[in-house]
Amino acid sequence: AQSVTQLGSHVSVSEGALVLLRCNYSSSVPPYLFWYVQYPNQGLQLLLKYTSAATLVKGINGFEAEFKKSETSFHLTKPSAHMSDAAEYFCAVRVYSGSARQLTFGSGTQLTVLP
């Protein structure tokens, strides 16, 4: 079965510091991986996705993620945090089940940006 695990339910960084949100996956087939962001009282927005092309994926708002097969990881990074980055972030893996392709989500990481 395919799954993702997000390490750290809460992460705090200072404004201007590096953001690193961790995601490890488990999959017996080449995975398709996603990062989503959820701002308060809103739905989820796609940040970036890995679909077996380039291992370094660039997304919106300056975020990027690197697929590392040897470490089964897909960590999300941003060089310099902004106050507006405060949100909850979800890693997800696409699974094949029955008649549909579904997304299975991690439990989320709440990012706090300190002034």
Q: Which of 12, 14, 26, 51 binds another protein (CB under 8 A)?
A: 51
Is residue 105 a contact residue for another protein (CB under 8 A)? yes
Spatial distance between the Cα atoms of 60 and 67, rounded to a whole number of angstroms: 17
- The tokens describing 19, both together, are 């953001």
Shortest reach from residue 89's CB to another protein, in Å? 11
Q: What angle do CA 90, 71, 31 make, to 5 degrees?
A: 55
Stretch that binds another protein, among 19-27, 35-43, 60-68, 72-80 (CB under 8 A): 35-43
Summary count for the chain: helices (H), strands (E):
0, 11
Chain residues that interact with another protein, rule: CB under 8 A = 9, 32, 34, 36, 41-46, 49, 51, 90, 94, 98-108
